[in-house]
Structures are given as C-alpha cells and as structure tokens.
A and B are shown apart, each in its own frame.
Chain A
Amino acid sequence: MTKVSMTVNGKPAQAEAEGRTLLSSFLREELGLTGTHVGCDTSQCGACVVHVNGVAVKSCTMLAIEAEGADVATIEGQAAADGTLNIIQQAFQDHHGLQCGFCTPGMVMSTAALLQENPKPSEQEIREYLEGNICRCTGYHNIVKAIMAASGQDVSAIAAE
C-alpha cells in the first residue's frame, strides 16, 4: 500500500492505494466520491470520465498512483458552491439530456472537455467526440441538443422538444 495524494475538486485529498488500484476505484471507494461511475471494464463506456490536470481521462484506465500530485476534477465539483448547476449541467436538465443518470457524470465531464477545445461544435463534431461515452437511455438526441445549447447555439429548430 502506498499513500497517494492529489487535489480533488480544489481540495487536498489523500488515501492508501495498492499498486493495482484504479483511479476510478480510488475516487469511489477511498475518497467516497461515488459520482464517478464504472460502467465497463474495457474503457469504452466513459461513465468514469474525470479531468486530470485539465485533460479528460477515463479514470478506469489510470492507476491511482499515476495521479500522485495531480489536479483532479470530478462531477462533484462542477456545480457552484451554492448548488447552482454549471452551464452544461443546466443544459442537460433543460433539454432532458439524461434519464437514468448513470452515464451522466461522464457525459458532463466529456462535454466540458469538448467545449474547452471547441467552443461551438457542430452536431457532427459532438457526435464524433462522444464516441467514447455510451448512453443506453436517450438515443443521444437530447444529449447532442443539450451540448449544442450549452455552447450557446440555437436548438429551437431541432426536431421535437
């Protein structure tokens, strides 16, 4: 066991980890940050996406010890201190971009990374970027719509509310 220290959502955090402990397990089990979800074991589903030093990472593909000293952001740190949703979270709620909520943390974290890289992505760019995030509930319609809305694009012409 090794002591691993990192900054998570702006606060220092440390706990013991085995060499084989994944960052996703470390966040969920050692730090109690259960908003990061694990939906597969082949790094396909994207439910576990967090940001490590500002870069979107599937936390199931990274060992906790590799994040030693890193600045980690998770879904728990996305809303304002008073609970106000950020613009992406709010767009997902406004446009019904989630149903069961299980893929949602990864979707929100991937969207944040996408909009950092590409502030006004086209529909096709959004769909391609989400290749690594699987949702089984929404058929993606309202997720894509929510992301377009979060990036300030007019979505009123998109089929069906």
Chain B
Amino acid sequence: MPKDSDQIESGIGASPKRREDVRFLTGAGNYTDDINLNGQAYVYFLRSDMAHGRIISIDTSDAAAMPGVVQIFTGADFEAVGGIPCGWQITDKHGEVMQEPAHPVLAQGKVRYVGDAIAAVVADSLDQARDAAEAIVLDIEELPAVINMKAALKEGATKVHDDLTSNLCYDWGFVEENKPAVEEAFAKAAHVTTLELVNNRLIANPMEPRVALGDFNRATGDSTLYTTSQNPHVIRLLMGAFVLGIPEHKLRVIAPDVGGGFGTKIFHYAEEAFCTFAAKALNRAVKWTSSRAEAFISDAHGRDHVTTIQLALDSDNNFTALRTDTHANMGAYLSTFAPSVPTWLHGTLMAGNYKTPLIYVNVKAVFTNTVPVDAYRGAGRPEATFQLERVIDKAARELGVDPIALRRQNFITEFPYATPVAVEYDTGDYNATMDKLEEIADLAGFAARRAKSEARGLVRGLGVNCYIEACGIAPSNLVGQLGARAGLYESATVRVNATGGLVVMTGSHSHGQGHETSFPQVIAEMIGIDESMVEIVHGDTANTPMGMGTYGSRSLAVGGSAMVRATEKIIAKAKKIAAHILEASDADIELKDGQFSIAGTDKSLAWGDVTLAAYVPHNYPLEDIEPGLEETAFYDPANFTYPSGAYACEVELDPETGKVSIERFAAADDFGNIVNPMIVDGQVHGGIGQGIGQALLEAAVYNEDGQLLSASYMDYAMPRADDLPFYQVDHSCQTPCTHNPLGVKGCGEAGAIGSPPAVVNAVVDALQSMGKDVTHVDMPLSPARVWAAMNG
C-alpha cells in the first residue's frame, strides 16, 4: 500500500460493483416506509404554525369523534414520561455546565418553533388522522418570537424557556488559558485581517423523509421500532433508557435500508418515542411517515453560525495568532449532539493545516424559536474550515501575496503535530495535496481560461483552499471528559460458518456508503478468500453487537477496525485448529490465499477444512480451545484520524445578472489507505455537491416572526444536475493513519467541508478582477447577492 488501483481486481484497493445496487435498481430495497404491519394505525402530528406561544387549551373532543380516530395524544399524556435527552454536556468558560431545557415528546406549556408537535392523532388511516387533526381546537396565546441570535442575548429579550436564566445555552472559551497570549500576539502583529461572516443555516434533506413504525407484542412485552436511523443502538439506548424506560432486552430497533442521512438521522426524535409509546398504549402498530413539508420543520437543521474571525501575521507573513467569536444557533431545544458541534467539533479544527501557534475560540450557543440545529455533514468542521480559509484568502489579498504561497508558507510540515487547540495530527502532507491539486486543476492554465471567458463577456474567478478533517471522534475516555454522554467505539462480530462463509455483524450502519461491498473487501484480503464469501449484517439491534452507528466519517476507521480486530481473533483461533490437524506448532502456521500451511513445507489445509473442523470437532484441540469460530471485537480508537486536502474551484460570473456557474472543480484529498476507490470518489462527489449547494444555493430562511420561508423544494434550492459540473477528484496522496490497523482516514464529509470556501474564494476573485472592492459575500451566493455586491 498504496497500490495502483487500476491493477487491483479484488480485496483492498479494488472497486467491485456494489452488491446493494441490484436491490436498489430493481425497486427491491426495503426502506422503513416500505414496511407495513398487520392492523397498523397511522399517526399525524398537529404541529405549531406559531414560532412561540403559550398553550391555553387543546380541545380534542370533536376530533376524537371523527371517523377512524383511535386516540389523540397531547403533552399531558407524556408528563410521566422522560423528555428527549441531549447526548453532550458542555462546560462553559466559567466552569459552569450549559443550560439544558426540558424537551418533551409533545409540547407542554408552550410551543417553541414552527413545527413543534402539539398533538398526535392516531387513526385507522393517515387521511382520517389528518382530517381529525383539523378539527382540534387550539387556544394558543402568541408570544414574541426570538429569531436573531444577537437579539436573543440582549437584556430583557423574550426567553424561549421561561425556567432558564436567559437564551444563552453556554459561553465557551477554547482554550481559555491561551487567551492572554493570543491578545498579546495580536497587539504585536504586523498585520491583522478581520472578517465577519455567516455560515448559512442548512437543511440536510436526505431524499428519504424520516419514518417511524412502532410495534408491541403484548404476549412477550417486547417493543420494536423500525426507524430511519444512522445508529439504531443509540436510539435504543436513548429512547429506551431515558424516555420510555424500556430495558434494551425488551426493545428492538431496526433501521433497514435508509435513504441517506447526512447527520440528520443520527438524532433521537420525538416521533420515534411517540410511535413506540403509542404502540404499547394501543396494543397496535403505529406508523408515522414524514411528508417533505414536515421534514423541513422537524428534521434537525445544520450550521447557522455568525462569526468574526481575526488572523494576526508577523512582518514575514507568518501566522502568529487566530481568534474567533461565534454565535451558534441551537434552535428551540437541544437536539442529541447539538452542543458538541460548535465546540469540540469546531474549535479543535481551527488550526486547520497551519502552524498558527496561538488560537482562541469563543462560542456563544443561543436558544431561538427555530427548529433545533445539530450535526449536518461535516458538523462544525465546515464552519471552522470556511472561516479560516476565507480569512487567509482575505489576508493574502490585503498583503498582495499569492494565496497558495501564503498557505504553503504556513503549512504544518512535521508530524505528529500538536495543535494549540488540543488535538494531535498523526500524519499529513499538505504540500503534496497542494502539488497534486495544482496538477489536476491545471492551475497553470487558468489565465488562458480566464481570457476565454472574458471574450464571451463573462468574468472568471479561481478559488483555492485547504481543509483538515477530524474523523472517528475518540477515544471514549477523552470524549467523556469533554462532555459526551456516550462512548465512541465500534463493534463487530465475525461469524464463520462451517462451510467457510462469513457473516459480519457490524455496529456501523450503511445508508448509502456501500459497507455491504467495501467491508467484505477487507476480510477477503485478510483471509485470502473471495469477497462473495462474506456477508454484512447491520441495522438491527437484535442481531448486531452494541454499536455507535455511522456519522462523522467513522465507519471504516472505527467500525472497519473493529471488524479487523475480530477477524484477527478468528485467524488466530483458526491457526490453532490448523496446527492441531497438521500436527505443527501454532507459530509455524501461515495463512495465505485461503490456505493454512506449515512454513517451509508443502503441508497445508484449506480455509474450509479448518472452518468445518471448528464445527465438526472430531480431530480438534478440545482441551485447549472451544469449538466454533465466532469472535467479537470492540474497537475504541486512540485518536481521531485527520484527512486533509486542497480544493480548487473556477467560476464564471455573469456581470449582467450576478449569476455564478461552477465551471471546474478539483479536489486532491489524502484519505490514507483506500479500500474501495470507486466508493471514495462517490463520497467526495456527493460532499462537493452539498458544499456547492451551501455556497451557491441553499439557505433555511426565517422571517422575524419565525416562519420558515424556505420550507419546500419550491423555495429551498436543492442542487440540481444542471447546477453542478463533473468534478476532478484524486486521492493518490496517501499518508496512512498511524493508529488504526487499516491506515485509513475518513472520506464521507471531506467534500462538504472543503468545497464552500473554494467557491466563495473564486467568486471574490472574479469580483476583484473586475476592480470591485468586494472582500466577502455571504452564502448562498445567489445572483441577487452577487449583483448587489457588484453594484453596492
């Protein structure tokens, strides 16, 4: 490793066709909404159309008498039930823990955002439930809505939660002890560049809306929840232990085929708890299928930071200090991992690829009357990368130096490298990815392309940036100190059948990532058997070991490592069996190409002979080892992995309209070792598509009354095929991770992290080339905003 991927036909480094594709291409996928249980009822949630209000009364009497209605539930039915828990507690810069409001399953006392569920109507059909919901009579006293974060923190602002002291969730300083040294460095700086910017609020929009189907078996007392989740065990633990009080052995959570997640299907949602609760209460399966309209106002949103960043440089243009001041929107309640996103997933990345010695990050997290905000592809890392790479670009322009040269001058070049923001990068080669980018993006040819655009009356701009990622957040004992209320290991059970086939039961969850194809490549390589002998099972708590699921680009680095560890145990035991049969010592047994042999002899046994012996142990070392061949491993990483890369975007700007089109996009990534290049490329493509979406098109827009104005695909501009180009992607720069057995880093979020600054840098470059004194335009760079910047 690295190998030349074109020549690899199987195992690690090959690109076999995805085995999951056949079912998806023939309509045979099994998504949650495709599952229907005998006699199931349907729930429709009556949601608040008001951003903030006090509930005076909810009269369900007429509605309850409507045809088909089974029962109507309100917040009062959940008073004895726990609220939706938050999975991360932040300690602020004064040593105080964050303010953590109650988060009821159905609204109690107040409604706090447009979309907050007030009542749940269960009926024989969805249409009947919806019809009945219209007959519920609500008396809600409207209260002033708190939407703008800075206004929310003003003295005397209306409080989202009456029992909290203010709308401030926490005021986090990182690293607080660095602050005086940072201030001193700024005082001494030869140059300071300041940039204020917005990281626009986004909606993840996996194409499959969320679904929850609760079931209860009165004969056994078992509850089952089918749900669109990235992490079914996490839902089982959070919902079972903290909301409904169901022990794990009486609760099964199944996340079958899931149609995309991007973070928003990590979290435990009230609808899941409701369906599980109602199925038991009614002794009848209860199904909820989100409409897209509901998804817009009930799926956790992402990003929504307002930041001022300052970069200090010395007279030689070395970065000497960085400080940031960010307001981060939490929305009305704390979603599962919301507090961690603007803090530990953001502050720790502020060093980026650069040896800035002093950094101070301040984040104020704010409650507002908006949908809860949580992790969306990248989660904190895109926000860090965007502000850092934008301020560096601005500094380069202010100083009149080449932005790539300024970056290269400040690159971290020696590893391991301990940043001033508490993380240690194990490996990387930022000059190598920048060199590769210059090659694949043909940066040398930019001037000629710019001239061609100009000849057509269009203005061409080039934006370049770097990024650093932190994937596979760990280790558990560290994240526990940082406030995580969860471990962050992953698990795998490898079961070898008598006839030699293997089943891997993984705690990772695939919702587009192709684990069913890529995970077998690893095992096939380790044992020397065909990939078709390995099957992956995931997504069902009843037949997989306790796992943390898939998010944060962690599956291969953490889940894959657990699978490797379990397979190593399998191989060690199989060698003992082989040694016994071959009458040799364990240490002399080699496994290659699926054959066990005694080193230096021609005596060998096939994989299948040994697996059969494990289950038909007639000639077997029963005094030393048990029959059977099945092993489990839990893997808790020693550190994050740190993928990195350099991205380039070329835009054409129409000076008449302000319309920006992406003409070229190139990404040179370092993901360490690669198991399946085709899948890695696909992950990068998708990330770039979402990053360009953020930069050019997407925005969740609230008006001052708290109405979400962009609440459908008519208004929320999802990237379409004709908004995007073909991408040039490369991952031939490989500095393997030093602390996981595969040497892999994560690739799922890189595209979404690395691409927005490239787009904005390119547009600013185009504007400046026109002689416009524009140093920044906030995303999304709609024609209206760009035109205003041009003519402002």
User: Are A100 and B726 CB-contacts (below 8 A) given A34-B31, A134-B718, A140-B721?
Assistant: no
A21: shortest Cβ distance to chain B, in Å?
9
B681-A102 in contact (CB<8A): no
A141-B685 in contact (CB<8A): yes
Q: Mark B195-222, 1 if CB is under 8 A from A, else 0.
A: 0000000000111110000000000000
Residue of A nearest to B209 (CB): A39
A136 to B730, CA, bound (A): 21
A130-B722 in contact (CB<8A): yes
A139-B685 in contact (CB<8A): yes
B722-A128 in contact (CB<8A): yes
Cβ-based interface call for B544 (8 A): no
Q: Within 8 Å CB of B17, what residues of A?
A: 93-94
B260-A100 in contact (CB<8A): yes
Cβ-based interface call for B690 (8 A): yes
Q: Within 8 Å CB of B686, what residues of A?
A: 99, 136-139
B539: shortest Cβ distance to chain A, in Å?
13
Cβ-based interface call for A59 (8 A): no
User: Are A78 and B26 CB-contacts (below 8 A) given A42-B292, A160-B728?
Assistant: yes
A99-B720 in contact (CB<8A): no
Residue of B nearest to A159 (CB): B728
B721-A34 in contact (CB<8A): no
Residues from 690 to 718 in B contacting A, C-beta threshold 8 Å: 690, 692, 712-714, 718
Interface size of A as a range: 35 or more
Cβ-based interface call for A35 (8 A): yes
Q: Within 8 Å CB of B727, what residues of A?
A: 139, 141, 159-160
A105 to B93, CA, bound (A): 51
User: Are A134 and B720 CB-contacts (below 8 A) given A20-B127, A40-B713, A100-B511?
Assistant: yes
Cβ-based interface call for A49 (8 A): no
Instruction: Pick from A29, A139, A161: contact of B677, CB below 8 A.
Output: A161
A31 to B652, CA, bound (A): 49
A137 to B208, CA, bound (A): 11
A100 to B18, CA, bound (A): 11
Taking each of A93, A108, A123, A140, which has the highest tally of chain B beta carbons within 10 Å of its own beta carbon?
A140
Q: Within 8 Å CB of A47, what residues of B?
A: 207
Residues from 94 to 150 in B contacting A, C-beta threshold 8 Å: 127
A45 to B719, CA, bound (A): 11
A147: shortest Cβ distance to chain B, in Å?
10
B7: shortest Cβ distance to chain A, in Å?
13
Cβ-based interface call for B512 (8 A): yes
Cβ-based interface call for A12 (8 A): no
A86 to B165, CA, bound (A): 63
A28: shortest Cβ distance to chain B, in Å?
8
Cβ-based interface call for B259 (8 A): yes
A102-B259 in contact (CB<8A): yes
Q: Within 8 Å CB of A126, what residues of B?
A: 721
A103 to B262, CA, bound (A): 15
Cβ-based interface call for A120 (8 A): no
B720-A130 in contact (CB<8A): yes
B257-A136 in contact (CB<8A): no
Q: Within 8 Å CB of A103, what residues of B?
A: 207, 259
Instruction: Pick from A102, A145, A158: contact of B260, CB below 8 A.
Output: A102
A101 to B31, CA, bound (A): 10
Residue of A nearest to B25 (CB): A89
B729: shortest Cβ distance to chain A, in Å?
5
A45-B513 in contact (CB<8A): no
Cβ-based interface call for B417 (8 A): no
Cβ-based interface call for A68 (8 A): no
Q: Mark A8-38, 1 if CB is under 8 A from B, else 0.
A: 0000000000101000000011000111111
A93-B681 in contact (CB<8A): no
User: Are A136 and B260 CB-contacts (below 8 A) given A45-B207, A96-B679, A103-B207?
Assistant: yes
Which A positions have Cβ atoms within 8 angstroms of B?
18, 20, 28-29, 33-42, 44-45, 47, 74-76, 78-79, 83, 85, 89, 92-94, 96, 98-105, 108, 123-124, 126-128, 130-131, 133-145, 158-161
User: 20 A-B Cβ contacts within 8 A?
Assistant: A33-B27, A34-B27, A35-B28, A74-B27, A78-B27, A79-B26, A83-B26, A99-B513, A100-B258, A101-B23, A102-B206, A102-B259, A123-B726, A124-B722, A134-B720, A137-B682, A138-B682, A142-B682, A142-B685, A161-B677
Given A33-B27, A128-B722, A139-B690, 14 other A-B residues pairs in contact with their CB atoms under 8 A: A20-B127, A34-B27, A44-B713, A45-B713, A76-B27, A85-B26, A99-B513, A99-B514, A100-B257, A101-B20, A136-B689, A138-B685, A141-B724, A159-B726
Return the 8 tightest CB-CB contacts between A and B, nearest first: A35-B27, A139-B689, A101-B24, A102-B259, A100-B512, A44-B713, A99-B512, A75-B27
Which B positions have Cβ atoms within 8 angstroms of A?
15, 17-18, 20-29, 31, 33-34, 36, 127, 205-209, 257-260, 262, 291-293, 511-514, 677-679, 681-682, 685-690, 692, 712-714, 718-722, 724, 726-730, 751
